[in-house]
Structure 1
């Protein structure tokens, strides 16, 4: 067999495989391989065709874009083909692109002006406007013919149905990307899980699947957004630069990228790529690279096109975040709350520039959802610092000896029983119990894995902040039996430490000094350090600031806790259960007895003084049929809790009480006929009085915190303090620190390296302070 025959066979196989992947990706929205695998196949085909140009045919995937339109939709022919872009995967590719551009323009030593913008990971679409009215929306399809998705496009909220302003061409074809933001994607999948539906693998599939729904109501319910990146046909005068055209589109009401930037020369393009790459995971949408285009329209026309791509544009892709590999086995790890987590052991593979050999499987429900088995070929994803995870199985590659994944009956660390958690959903007058997705070891702190993780959390920077107590040292302290609870850290001695592996006189004294320095934690840090389930740093701060003392937090009943903002009943029960546990109380007692002195304790926060009302108390009791309105009517009729209890048993008086249905009256009577119901209601009222939250308690004026009620945003680097310290200072002055800029933002503090948040503040006219002005303001406000 000749080399040409061998190449022809390989080319035929590659074309067949790529066509199948195109069909699954563009038509079915169900890709079976990650982008990196597709790119490898495509570039192998491209290289073979370059070596054997006689074998190139018009039907080759290298000569066209995407796949065929779905028959369920009407077809739209693109009078100007919607081409894809050439890709760069390394700096050399980008430099070659710039060299070709300069050579094509006869600029051997010249500099080219480029436009730069992120490459959104969505679905390319064309929007046709006639006399300013949207008349057609179409997918790219195979580049020549797309699917008519006008009805679905009209439901995307940021696509104008009529162009704004004036001066637009009588005929204008706008091209861009419809995508799903990360937050919307997560919410969509969460709803699907709650309703027992199928989840999407990634935002791109979710966007594509939404636009290919035959019922526009489904598309309308999805959180889709559009971003314009260029034009096709037009009948009218337009600016002479790509940036100018996009700015004109923006003036006419079409959204463009907030990251759009004009630069001079390829070195500035490289810098833009690095800057966007560093912020990639913080962007509110998925991107897979950066698009660079020659900015001058005249120069674009001079450079022209190849068969499937323009010569004046390139997509510089980020390292692949998804790759194919094999699941070799599954191990089970034990966390600080006893949760048993399956961890996938993978055949090592490079993902996003890092060798990945382990990935999280979250829990057994996720294993079932994926349908994954040991031996499977899987797609593993890694984005930034996120733990790698398996996102999809390639079922057609499953071996005959694949094995199911089963949870161990005993804890792999301590041998204690492993039990499935139960979910308790509390509603009006009842609690529904169902099986949870988490399995737990019941050994608690007798299990060394849980003890180690609990102590690692306890000493972490945002908790007790004991410098020098890393995981390796914690493991050694637990393994030698020196530490059996967090409280034991405070009775360690020099003699115990200095004989341990890796310790000497200086390191032993340094660790003891760090432990001593942690004895005076703020109340919020201490509460967070305790590791209460579902209580993160923000909830711990809320508990500490509102209730003001550990004693109140320990005693607080679940219903009382729900008067605090953002504390729901489920979290309230977790907090209450934690402090009722005898072991947890003993650990806290030992911590306080061994010299831990809580700081920033005081009275109940003034805004919660007399914050409760009788109708709210009645509503929180969860009496069937009595919601907020009925509780208000009942409170108005009775005037006190004791009067409500008495009224509930006085059937004649109750029957004429307005605002209550017969069913509600019966439920009220039954609730207070039970001694437990009366005791619970009286206990809640008694605690409200004790805390000063009762409606008859003395109201107090809040000491006016200067930034109370304001929302601030920190962006960039704060050189004189960490962002976390800046956040703490703002919160101590009453401000809420948010992660994104909106019209309600009071001020943005922008340090060096500030990017999209600073730009967004400029768009909205939000006040901006640099670090120096911020420090001056802090000194003024802190007196």
Structure 2
């Protein structure tokens, strides 16, 4: 075959195989037998090997799996992948409906979708070509798993239209694939996966894409992260568009015009879920209108326009063998039930938190009791109740101690709290838990410094606070159990690398009460340096939309302590970065921006900036962008086709800018 004919045949085979793949894996309507597909794929491989100049990134041959990776690189999500708030009963859903209607009125439609029990991922396309796929991670930063996602045949490598957009979906393992995989693992005398969700997540986090390719994973798309050129106005319309572009969406979704219809859908699938070929753990209910979604906005953690109804958890019976106590990093003493091992929702459970003494008394739980156990939200083991009719008289009542099990200090119950707390700042259990939190993935992310290593270092008096981590030497580490030269060298490199982390990682790592990872990032973006935050008053903090009274008070109290101020000085001396280094404007240090300290709402279509770019630049000018108009709103930036938010802002007398006014302010402040 000459070069011209080869090029023509390669294009023909690529188009043909892509169509056959779409028919089989998305439409579930194969038009040719497997043997024919395999024959054509083999022909295409041979031609691409002979004429590599005709190989394209979206060729069906590129799904097979590339070279083994050394590690996954990080991916910043331009639009955060937020988690959903949960509903566990009918009243929770009715309360959600009331909140929505109170905010945007009674003209509401919902879209109900099956909640696939898998791994959330994002897919990015440029001019129709699949260029990057990532895990959700912590919602802001995920891991690049493009090579593994390419092996999922229901993911198009090229769209039907040359759109540039980012979409979100749930990767999962069908039940039949899960059973086959575990059968093969048992035949090789390997430990089987506990459930399809773990199997899917484990497959997509393999450094060798060929392993993911062999696992027969699938994926349903559930949303668009960045609307781009789609022009979608509703969630249901967006899903229809995704189907038109060649994506696989779940056909069981339903548009509901009332909360009664939502409840009917939930009841129907609570009963029918066992009939599916894949696992679901609930129903996701979303406001269908994207403009109403925007008006409702989000909290730090989750959107106000969506909620996940969680199916009733599976309940099993086991025995409490003992109750042990643990001291957390904030001093709370928590009783934990040690259980006779039992399988619950696909995993073996041996421990369950009993939370506090009041709960133990309320449920009359005793050591030796037969108890009903479930997983709250299908995740956290929980003791539901004791089966008192099975008691033999040998069961023992449990009483909380009066003194800390770690340091013997007298325990206290703070006003308004049910938990007993050790308030000794030198308590070894609290210090150790605080150190473990500081080095954890969502905090300073020091690879190699796990719980056991931290425990050894603390036991050997090599670290007593987080600043000590940055004073560790090779000599300190090589004396530890199972710590060779290479491991010690790698750990020191990881510690050194952590010094460059952006401020939000440090803030979260410090373990300030009520400050989670999302809030830490918001605070870091607003104040930019730890010195500015340490000088902030409660009033300054409360100007930030996501910060409430408790968090503001906690932050001010934390930084008022002399020992904390000394710790920050030690970290600075050790070379730890104390500044926010995320995307920001290169601007003068003067704070004379008209948006500094202002609450800003964006509405309508912006022409020169994307919505995310505008939000980012406003925040770097000291402004705070929220999703809905209220009396607290200072400025509304109105783009083309602005709707109800513009009308509401006019009624409230709020300052209104167009996009050009926003750009003028940005340009003045940029250097």
TM-score normalised by the shorter chain: which range applies?
0.3 to 0.5
TM-score, normalised via structure 1 length: 0.39
TM-score, normalised via structure 2 length: 0.45
Larger Rg: 1
User: Of the two structures, which has the highest relative contact order with CA contacts closer than 8 Å and spacing of 6 or more?
Assistant: 2
